[in-house]
């Protein structure tokens, strides 16, 4: 389902894709008529939050092991943290947390490359597609251009904060595409 943005700036719909095709054939709409998928903008943030919760849940066993090692070593705020060098629980917890996050990152990357979805996006029924033809964007677009390039720009002191804020604010444009979507030539759709 789509919402059509008329020449008067008002939104009309929801309208099914086949109805839009009929309108184009009848001359009621053109290929320049703006349309957006219904409901994708609010689900993007929720999908990101869900992915973050999943990441915390994966790392939680290792984090608990680290907390227990700190408690066993008797370290308090401002205490002697060098005691942790001998705490096997700390090293084991760190390894468990890193391994769990690595496995999650591999799964998420595989899902992004093959389906255009992370776990959060799949649960909420949205996916990333190429802007031009709505096909699977693949590794270069979804990871390198959409993920890595914005992360590198975001890591630049001062410029990074401005870029990240601007990238997020682009969601309020008519087409709901953020800067990372524009860089990669992608969009997020329902389905």
- Per-residue confidence in pLDDT tens, the chain, 191 aa: 566 666 666 666 667 767 777 777 777 776 566 665 555 556 778 888 899 999 999 999 999 998 888 777 766 666 665 666 556 778 889 999 999 999 999 999 999 999 999 999 888 888 999 988 889 999 999 999 999 999 999 999 999 999 999 988 888 887 788 899 999 999 888 87
Q: What is the DSSP code (8-state) at residue 1?
A: -
Asked whether residue 47 is assigned to any structural domain, the reply reads no
Which residues are within 8 A (CB) of 60 and not within 5 positions of it... i.e. 6 or more apart? none
Residue 126: burial class (beta carbons within 10 Å; 0-12, 13-18, 19+): buried
Asked whether residue 46 is assigned to any structural domain, the reply reads no
Q: Domain boundary at 121, 142, 164, which?
A: 121
Of 16, 13, 12, the closest CA to residue 1 belongs to 16
Domain that holds residue 84: 55-121
Asked whether residue 42 is assigned to any structural domain, the reply reads no
Of 191, 170, 190, 188, the closest CA to residue 179 belongs to 170
Asked whether residue 44 is assigned to any structural domain, the reply reads no
pTM score, two decimals?
0.67
71 and 13 part of one domain: no
Please check whether residue 186 is in contact with residue 131, taking contact to mean a CB–CB distance below 8 angstroms.
yes
61 and 113 part of one domain: yes
List for the chain the helix, strand, coil content (%; round to 5): 65, 10, 25
Of 43, 50, 88, the closest CA to residue 66 belongs to 88
């Amino acid at each position: 389902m789509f919402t059509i943005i008329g020449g008067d700036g008002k939104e009309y719909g929801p309208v099914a894709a086949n109805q839009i095709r009929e309108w184009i054939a009848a001359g009621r709409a053109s290929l320049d008529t703006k349309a957006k998928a219904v409901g994708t903008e609010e689900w993007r943030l929720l999908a990101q939050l869900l992915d973050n919760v999943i990441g915390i849940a994966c790392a939680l066993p290792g984090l608990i092991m680290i907390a227990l090692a700190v408690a066993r070593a008797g370290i308090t705020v401002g205490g002697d943290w060098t005691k942790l060098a001998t705490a096997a629980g700390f090293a084991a917890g760190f390894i468990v947390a890193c391994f769990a996050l690595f496995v999650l990152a591999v799964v998420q990357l595989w899902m992004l490359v093959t389906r255009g979805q992370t776990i959060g996006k799949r649960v909420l029924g949205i996916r990333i597609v190429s802007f031009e033809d709505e096909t699977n964007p693949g590794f270069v677009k979804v990871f390198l251009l959409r993920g890595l390039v914005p992360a590198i720009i975001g890591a630049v002191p001062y410029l990074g904060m401005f870029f990240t804020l601007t990238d997020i604010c682009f969601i309020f444009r008519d087409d709901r595409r953020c800067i990372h979507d524009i860089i990669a030539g992608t969009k997020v759709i329902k389905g």
